[in-house]
Chain A
């Protein structure tokens, strides 16, 4: 019997080339240690779920018999009941039926209204497709764009490895443009031009540009001027702009609030507003909702020709439909509880009367509390940045947005040698040692891309605020001892 179909040698090469460090070696090692009962300080993405309204509403939609029961008000607030009825009325058969392959029309309309409120420009629900997480939308889109290895996609370095993995799987070419660490992970148009020129010299047709705003893992928020430059660049170079904006609600400084690519596109007026092709991505997994497990997301198309939209629809239809509960979460996310809502009023009334309400007030209380989450994340971003900067040979840019900290670890040559001996990439070596010593699990910077010889790691800023000081001090102890152990006096890795 010769080589079988599913022997390693005969697998699709593109699959073998893929890397996705977020769930790679460090994650697997951390899981092993966890099983062994070791302490786990997961600096992974786990945001305490704050969307209690979402929970209420989807629970009612799952079990509509509850809505018929006279006692339902004892367990669920009035506005959750109202919203559940509303969303059920938008489905054609409840949560258990495939919806329109693009997503429930009524919910896409709510998303369009959200976009219009956010940007001040009308948005067309027919050009908004709900997906099982933003990742699926990214994959679908890149699948349409990449014809072969001759097609290049501009991707920031460092980047969220969904992009590199997907481009690999689809057999395309990743054209990197480097973000400048010394300039707060800033983007330089000249670097972009150079990257494109180099790619073209190699015979690559550069087709699209990815921006992640706010950035992952780097957290930087693009300024309006930046976005204008980028859009002009895409116009000049004939590129589709893929705007990954999943962290748009996670912004921790005031100088550069989030502005959508679409808003800037529209602000710039014709010809750019009419010509540049743009696909924008959003999700229920981030923000202060953090409903990662639901797998809810959408993409919005701007200036994509109708025939192309038809093809994209066709691909979406093969997957039948995005999951319906997450579509409802999306509707709720784009329509958060407002001061006018029943539950909010009730909350204020009851609070005056001094009642203790464990159920009715929860929703409103929580929505107000959600804003507190963002403020807490801002503080946590600061604690982590300062904590890393206080460590030997560690330099860390401030987390302007998103959910991560991406400190640079200046590894001494001896450490790099030790890594080589152990058969590990240097930052993987460091991160494994950190994990074994402290239980802190991180993702090595090599998983995201970095300049040659420069090393980083990615942590989240999500551990509880009260746990942060202990975590940072544990890290510092490990790091400073590690540096002591491996340091030369006259030479160490530098930017």
Chain B
């Protein structure tokens, strides 16, 4: 008798979904890495250079000292009283730790919290949102989660009743969206960002795709906007954002605003504006628009991916719906406490006058300016490659260059039963140890090819990456040039 759980009998939605960021290329890279560890000259490179995932601290980015001080003290509160602690920790980190512990019932950091997260921390986050936007935020609208991703899943679960329910997603997009829509049995309704205009988002394109979906009998429920964009890096202009808000209001769509890169903006002519701020400044309140904003501790200048901290702020829907969201959140009891604390720190970092402010802001500015430099260096390097064009990374952590592959290469890819961009990425990996994610993992206009590269390797590694990439690209084009 065939065992119950085989590939033929598991949930087909599981089979259908894909997640390229940790997909095939990455698995291959890990295998190659193991081979090099066993036999250092097994390959024409000494190390794997992971440019596939927004995981800054795995590549040497340092955490923000103040945040780690507070977390360490919260993890081990019994040292707060000791005199030695004063010598090892900054005074304001000790003070903040006391503050936070007082907000945790019984100071029991080991206990499950309220399913939306510790109230005092949500108060802090709400205050941080208000300081950022100039419009009030309600702690009861905040749901702290293990990273932003589980919050996205929760919303998809709520919104998707069947494959007749569609969610508008940008193409290219971060594949959490396509994967979670597939897992929850819904339909992804694509809207294309315009590469020629710096990955611009046109409301006319939104309208067009909405109509097309409706004509196919799909009920479009929500619009996903990733701002700053992943993988595309564009930062929306405020006017653009107003058009989007207006569109959602008119069409009765929930606006799902993925804003996890809100602190990663590298160009002076653009600024991050939250969709909440934009909506409120248009005079739209709770009755006018349903809006969910996602934030995370994994990005920005803090890059605390491993902590799994984040939240969603949910506004503009009725109490009975909020109860349902609470109910779903409660089945998992609560998100991890350390991540909750970190989310509150990210939304209320040291201020001018605080003891740690100078060192904190130096660390922060150091990281952000370095990211901006790396973004520019890599953008220029890509634009120098034959057949490659690369839009500027205005924000986020990625570059998404377009590569025009020669016919010969496309045919070779077909023969290898691989998508052409995956074919290129695989060859790049085996020749140089560099790991990019093929554009097909994010979606692209059919017939175009891209790959995503992070801007995260340390600055001193960038020249080597550029050299290896350039050499490889040259020889690849030599091999396949028409």
Q: Which residues of A contact B (CB under 8 A)?
A: 1-8, 10-16, 18-20, 22-24, 31, 45-49, 51-52, 55-56, 58-60, 62-66, 69, 71-72, 74-75, 91-99, 101, 132-133, 135-136, 139, 143-147, 161-162, 165-166, 169, 207-208, 238-240, 275, 277, 285, 290-295, 303-305, 307-308, 311, 314-315, 317-326, 359, 362
Chain A contacts of B53 at CB under 8 A?
98, 320
Are the CB atoms of B158 and A11 closer together than 8 Å? yes
Query: Does B10 lie at the interface of the complex (its beta carbon under 8 Å from any beta carbon of A)?
Result: yes
A271 smallest CB distance to B (angstroms): 11
Interface residues of B in 70-112 (CB under 8 A from A): 71-73, 75-76, 78-79, 82, 84-85, 87-88, 106, 108-112
Chain B 1-25 per-residue mask, 1 if CB under 8 angstroms from chain A, else 0? 1111111011110110111011100
Residues of chain B with a CB closer than 8 A to A136's CB: 332
State which residues 340-374 of B face A: CB under 8 Å.
none
- Cross-chain contact B1 with A238 (CB below 8 angstroms): yes
State which of B3, B56, B75, B304 has its C-beta within 8 Å of the C-beta of A277: B3
20 further interface pairs, Cβ-Cβ under 8 Å (given A49-B109, A143-B14, A292-B111) = A12-B158, A16-B324, A23-B327, A23-B333, A48-B108, A49-B111, A64-B68, A71-B84, A75-B85, A96-B306, A133-B333, A135-B333, A146-B11, A165-B331, A293-B337, A305-B7, A308-B5, A314-B19, A315-B183, A317-B22
Q: Roughly how many angstroms separate A63 CA and B65 CA in the complex, as a whole number?
A: 8
The listed residue with most B CB atoms (<10 A of its CB), out of A10, A64, A362, is A10
Interchain Cβ contacts under 8 Å between A and B, 15 examples: A1-B252, A8-B320, A8-B324, A45-B112, A96-B57, A96-B307, A97-B55, A98-B306, A132-B336, A145-B5, A294-B336, A318-B19, A318-B149, A320-B147, A321-B305
Tell me whether A6 and B159 are in contact (CB under 8 A): yes
Contacts of B339 in A (CB 8 A): 323
CB distance B321 to A7 under 8 Å?
yes
Count A-B contacts at CB 8 Å: 299
A69 nearest CB across to chain B (Å): 6
Asked if residues B149 and A5 are in contact (CB atoms below 8 Å), the reply is: no
The distance in angstroms between the C-alpha atoms of A452 and B82, with both chains bound, is 57
Q: Is the CB of B336 within 8 A of A18?
A: no
Cβ of B59 within 8 Å of any chain A Cβ, yes or no, is: yes
Contact A324/B307 with A92-B58, A318-B19, A318-B149 known, Cβ cut-off 8 Å: yes
Provide the residues of chain B in CB contact with A16, threshold 8 Å. 324
Residue on A with the closest CB to B176? A318
**Known: A5-B222, A62-B72. Is A277-B5 also a contact (CB below 8 A)?**
yes
Give, as a whole number of angstroms, the nearest-CB distance from A52 to chain B: 8
Do A323 and B76 touch (CB < 8 A)?
no
B140 interface residue, CB < 8 Å from A? Answer: no
CB-CB under 8 A from A208, the residues of chain B are 4-5
- Let me know if A46 and B106 touch, CB within 8 A: yes
List, in ascending order, chain B residues with CB within 8 A of A65's CB.
65, 68
- Contact in complex: A96, B63 (CB < 8 Å): yes
What CA separation (Å) do A60 and B305 show in the bound complex? 18
Which residue of the partner chain A has the closest CB to B1? A238
Q: Are B332 and A135 in contact (CB-based, < 8 A)? A: yes
Let me know if A323 and B336 touch, CB within 8 A: yes
> B60 in the interface, Cβ–Cβ < 8 Å?
yes
A311 touches B324 (CB 8 A): no
CB distance from B291 to the nearest CB of A (A): 10
Known: A49-B108, A292-B110, A293-B109. A145 touches B306 (CB 8 A): no
Q: Which of A75, A97, A99, A240 neighbours the largest number of chain B CB atoms within 10 Å of its CB?
A: A97
Q: How far, in Å, is A26 (CB) from chain B's closest CB?
A: 12
- A132 pairs with B110, CB closer than 8 A: no
Q: Name the A residues within 8 Å of B9 (CB-CB).
A: 147, 207
Instruction: Specify which of A292, A311, A326 is in contact with B112 (CB 8 Å cutoff).
Output: A292
Supposing A277-B4, A323-B307 touch, asked if A66 and B75 sit within 8 A by C-beta, the answer is no
Interface residues of B (CB under 8 A from A): 1-7, 9-12, 14-15, 17-19, 21-23, 53, 55-60, 63, 65, 68-69, 71-73, 75-76, 78-79, 82, 84-85, 87-88, 106, 108-115, 146-147, 149-150, 157-161, 175-176, 179-180, 183, 221-222, 252-254, 290, 298, 302-308, 316-318, 320-321, 324, 327-328, 330-339
Q: Once the chains are docked, how many angstroms separate the CA of A318 from the CA of B178? A: 10
10 closest A-B pairs by CB? A49-B110, A324-B306, A23-B330, A59-B76, A97-B58, A93-B58, A317-B22, A293-B337, A96-B57, A63-B72
Q: Are B176 and A13 in contact (CB under 8 A)?
A: no
**CB-based contact B221/A5 at 8 Å:** yes
Chain B nearest CB from A299 CB (Å) reads: 13
- Give which listed residue, B106, B161, B321, B336, contacts A6 with CB less than 8 A: B321
User: Complex: how many Å from CA A315 to CA B149?
Assistant: 12
- Chain B hits for A23, CB < 8 A: 115, 327, 330, 333
Query: Which B-chain residue is minimally distant from A13 (CB atoms)?
Result: B161
Contact between B5 and A292, CB atoms less than 8 A apart:
no
Chain B residue with minimal CB distance to A19? B327
Set B290, B321, B338: member contacting A8, Cβ < 8 A? B321
User: Contact at B157–A320, with CB atoms within 8 Å?
Assistant: no
Which residue in chain A gives the minimum CB-CB distance to B83? A74
Smallest CB gap from A239: residue in B? B4
| Whole-angstrom CA separation of A11 from B320 in the bound complex | 11
Contact A322–B60 (Cβ < 8 Å): no
Which of B10, B180, B306 is close to A318, meaning CB atoms less than 8 Å apart?
A: B180
Please state if B14 and A144 are interface contacts (CB–CB under 8 Å).
yes
- In the bound complex, residues from chain A placing their C-beta under 8 Å from that of B221 are 5, 10
Bound-state Cα–Cα, A62 to B66, Å: 11
State how many angstroms separate the Cβ of B359 from the closest Cβ of chain A.
12
A102 to chain B, nearest CB (A): 10
* Known interface pairs A71-B84, A93-B60, A240-B5; A63-B68 also in contact (CB < 8 Å): yes
Q: Which residues of A have CB within 8 Å of B79?
A: 59, 75
Are A145 and B112 within 8 A (Cβ)? no
Q: Which residues of B contact A55 (CB under 8 A)?
A: 75-76, 78
Most buried by A among B4, B254, B302: B4
Chain B residues contacting A66 (CB-CB under 8 Å) are: 72, 88
Nearest Cβ on chain A to B452's Cβ, whole angstroms = 15
**Do B321 and A325 touch across chains, with their CB atoms under 8 A apart?**
no
- Chain A residues within 8 Å of B56, by CB: 96-97
Cα-based distance from A22 to B308 in the complex (angstroms): 24
Instruction: Write out the residue numbers on chain A whose beta carbons fall within 8 Å of the beta carbon of B307.
Output: 95-96, 323-325
Please give the distance in Å from A151's CB to the nearest CB on chain B.
9
Report the Cα distance A324→B304, complex, angstroms. Answer: 10
Q: Give bound CA distance, A2 to B69, whole Å.
A: 51
A10 surroundings in chain B (CB, below 8 A):
161, 221
Chain A residues within an 8 Å CB radius of B160: 12
> Which of B23, B59, B331 is most buried by chain A, counting CB atoms within 10 A of its CB?
B331
| A94 contact set on B, CB distance < 8 A | 57, 63, 306
> Contacts A93-B58, A136-B332, A238-B3: A293 and B252 contacting too (C-beta < 8 A)?
no
Instruction: Contact check, B14 vs A62: say whether CB atoms are below 8 A apart.
Output: no
Do the beta carbons of B82 and A75 come within 8 Å of each other? yes
Q: How far is the CB of B441 from chain A (nearest CB, A)?
A: 12
CA distance A72 to B84 in the complex (A): 9
